[in-house]
Structure 1
Amino acid sequence: MMTPDTSGLALTGASGSAREHYLRGLSELQRFVGDPVGSVDLAIAEAPGFVMAHVLKGYLFGLATEREAMVVARACHEAALPLVATAREQGHVMALGHLAAGRWHEASRVLEDLTIEFPLDALALQAGHQIDFFTGNARMLRDRIGRALPAWDKAMPGCHAILGMQAFGLEETGDYRRAEQFGRAAIELEPRDGWAQHAVAHVMEMQSRQRDGIAWMHANKDGWTRESFLQVHNWWHLALFHYDLGETEAVLALFDGPIYGKRSTLSLNMVDASAILWRLHLGGIDVGDRWAHLAANWAPKAAAGNYAFNDAHAMMAFVGAGLEAPAGTLLETQREAMLAGDDNAGFTRDVGHPVTLAVKAFGEGNYAETVRLLRPIRAVAHSFGGSHAQRDVIDLTLIEAALRDGNTPLARALTAERALARPESPLSTLFMQRASTLDAN
């Protein structure tokens, strides 16, 4: 039994109603709203032989960066393997298998080939783009979508997502003017596209347009918050604008409310919580018992060892809360992870472990060691995932460590570097002022 999706691509094993459930789940993923897992579960219940429904569910779990979720991703792959499928669908099953086994780069390559041949394969573009994000591959964030873009037009269902992904790829490669144009065009098509909303926020963050960013987020607040599972990250972006302006009370209010008021146990949400508190910690801000609550939710994940980017943010919480035991568990788990055969072994060895050690050293007041650990990895930090805005915490930590260590030449060099990159940032000005007061001797 074969029925096409909205682009005419085969959906083998789908019934009419299962197709509708699947397309709803895909649309929810493209907008980061609703319950795509619930939608695809309905599709599978309706048509157990619907191969792409199993694949979509597998991607949803495989891209969650949670160790427990990978069990579901592997089960989805196993369910899809024996099913009747076209060559394109078999490519998806292969990509899911790589992802479920922790072979991020192999999954990326399979999906790249799929979208070269089938540029209207919206799910392949979406999954590939997310993998590019989690592996920090800025060029592919841009080019994977750019290659497919000529096949799309704004009248096609889901085109907003293609424009939004292109916006983010352009932003991560420094093409801010066109990134903003693509992002705004995506929001005009679909105001609830949380990824496009966040792409424009990234542009404004990188350009230090804090007031524009605050206005941008408030102008479409209902669009990016309503039933959105990306809303915590978008609230985090709003908090970053206030942080750079030195508006600490606004930052803490956002943390206590939409960022971490519900004390989520999802790693993606806790990463944002750790990232904003650590920035405040670098500035010497007392955040009270917020670290303790966050660290308590990170503690069960200290032995996960499946995604180095998460590990670094977990260590921030353990340091902030003064918890030695889970910090030790995390470091031991990282040492084991570096011996594994998956891609996370490289993520951890090259970037994640040094960053995690540096965060711990900073917490212990060993600022010279923090500097020693962070300086060599800045050029390759993208390889453990995240965006420029997220990885900026590495530079912020390095600058603060150099300042506190009294390393005058390095502090002045780093603050001059930042002032050139972000001349309109109040934080750049503050860093420069602090570096200028250090004893040159």
Structure 2
Amino acid sequence: MTRLDSRGLPLSTASDRAVERYREGVDLLLSAWPGVAEVLDEAIAADPDFALAHAARARLHVIRTEVAKAKARIATAEEIVARRGTERERSHVEILSLAINGNSAKALERALAHAEVWPRDVLILSLPLGAFGLFAFSGMADHDQARVDLCERHARHFDDNDWWFLTYRGWAHAENGNVAHGRALTQRGYDLRTENANAAHALSHALYEGGAHDEAERLIESWLPRYDRSGILHGHIAWHSALGALERGDPEQALSIYAEHIQPSVTAGMPVNVVSDTASFLWRLKAYGHNVPAGLWQDAAAYSEGYFQKAGFAFADVHMALIAAATGDKAAVEARVKAQMELIDTGALPAGPVVPAICRAALAFADEDYAACVRTLAPVAAEVVRIGGSGAQREMIEDMLLLALMRSGETAKARELLDRRLHRRPSSRDTRWHGLLAA
């Protein structure tokens, strides 16, 4: 009897228990829901030679930045699949191995080719998607469009009840500017499976991109208590709520959310989220004219010492530079920029010169040299998208340029940028800033 995964693809195992646990584990993994490790371990216990269960477990390890464990687990999957796996399973494991072992460009190439043959292999199709996927971190300037194209190319293979595909297809459209369509798709995905942190997250992004800030906050307020604090997106979804509080000019509420859900001592989030969320929140708090309580920057810096010390991961590089600049560690910023320039010379930093430019601009902004910040950041502003992440995350860098323009007296350019932003997305904060410029 052929045993199938949740999307109808054959699995090389004779254990019904292993199949049932694997299907549940993958769905938990795709919804960023707690319990993935335990469920996949049950699948492996039921059949120790179930390669795809080991591969999914490796994927969870790498999401949690447990790199050594991920490499060991994917090596086990490779050994098993070589002797008892189908062509699809061998390709599946090989692609995850490429990604886990740092060969992201090849992993992306192979994942796209794999999707042409097995589009319903959703664990592989998921790799290029999302704000932290292989497309987003490829250094491409058009990664938002690439995600839309990938989803539309394979949409015919999914019905209207596939909660995972609806979520990511909708999020891709919302991030790429087709907000109403993206929101409708994402809402349907969320409604089909509300115990899905990726759907709640994607829907909050769609609401944000549509200027529906109050709706986004109500969504998070009602949904987050249902999501265990051990969930990897708990702190990050709360970060969206904290930004909403800053948007409406309530720094006390924003800091309360930060203290309860986001700061390193309380979150179980992925390190890339913890570093970026703490850095960007505290930077916004200060830049918007509010006080950052004593010790918060130092706590963020202490946490970051355990991660991303080597330059080359553009999204992390930018946030590590923000933390170093805010804590007065000019030497750390300069050393990171030097390392980035060397990587650019060898073609090993796909995002290119925009990365050191943002790091230098952050240092200038922290030093209140706003004219230097403008000189450094303005020429590369159109390339910021190359660092990856979401539009909401990258908006911080646009805020840096906008505030530097305002504070260096370049009022006309600041007003022009604000006009474009208000046309793209309603914002009470931008409206307040526009009023200050008009006064």
TM-score normalised according to structure 1 size: 0.88
**Aligned residue runs from structure 1 range 18-417, under 5 A:** 18-64=18-64, 66=65, 69-82=66-79, 83=81, 84-129=84-129, 130-135=133-138, 137-154=143-160, 159-224=162-227, 227-260=230-263, 262-264=265-267, 266-289=271-294, 290-301=296-307, 303-324=309-330, 326-335=332-341, 337-338=343-344, 345-347=349-351, 349-417=352-420
Structure 1 unaligned regions, length at least 5: none
Count how many residue pairs are aligned between Structure 1 and Structure 2: 427
Once the two structures are TM-superposed, the CA of residue 144 in structure 1 deviates from its matched residue by 2.4
Q: What is the identity, as a one-letter code, of the residue corresponding to 2:316?
A: N
Provide the identity percentage: 25
Structure 2 unaligned regions, length at least 5: none
**Counterpart of 2:5?**
5
Once the two structures are TM-superposed, the CA of residue 277 in structure 1 deviates from its matched residue by 1.2
Label 1:14 to 1:388 Cα distance change in 2 as closer, same or farther (>3 A).
Answer: farther
Contact 1:43/1:53, CA 8 A, preserved across alignment: yes
Deviations 1:114-155 (A, max 9, x none): 222222212122223232344472123223233333322355
Once the two structures are TM-superposed, the CA of residue 164 in structure 1 deviates from its matched residue by 0.9
Output the CA distance in 1 between the equivalents of 2:344 and 2:36: 33
Contact 2:371/2:408, CA 8 A, preserved across alignment: yes
Q: What is the identity, as a one-letter code, of the residue corresponding to 1:107?
A: A
Counterpart secondary structure, 2:306: helix
Counterpart secondary structure, 1:127: coil
Output the CA distance in 2 between the equivalents of 1:419 and 1:150: 36
Once the two structures are TM-superposed, the CA of residue 302 in structure 1 deviates from its matched residue by 5.3
Deviations 1:259-314 (A, max 9, x none): 22635482322211211111112112111221111111112335233522112112
Q: What is the identity, as a one-letter code, of the residue corresponding to 1:298?
A: S
Deviations 1:42-77 (A, max 9, x none): 43344333221232233333445x4xx333333334
Contact 2:297/2:323, CA 8 A, preserved across alignment: yes
Q: What is the identity, as a one-letter code, of the residue corresponding to 2:318?
A: A
Q: What is the identity, as a one-letter code, of the residue corresponding to 1:280?
A: L
Output the CA distance in 2 between the equivalents of 1:44 and 1:333: 42
Once the two structures are TM-superposed, the CA of residue 396 in structure 1 deviates from its matched residue by 0.3
Q: After superposing the two structures, state which structure 1 stretch, 128-137 or 48-57, moved more.
A: 128-137
Contact 1:197/1:224, CA 8 A, preserved across alignment: no
Label 1:336 to 1:16 Cα distance change in 2 as closer, same or farther (>3 A).
Answer: farther
Deviations 1:365-402 (A, max 9, x none): 22222212222322222222101111111100001111
Output the CA distance in 2 between the equivalents of 1:406 and 1:196: 42
RMSD of aligned alpha carbons = 2.6
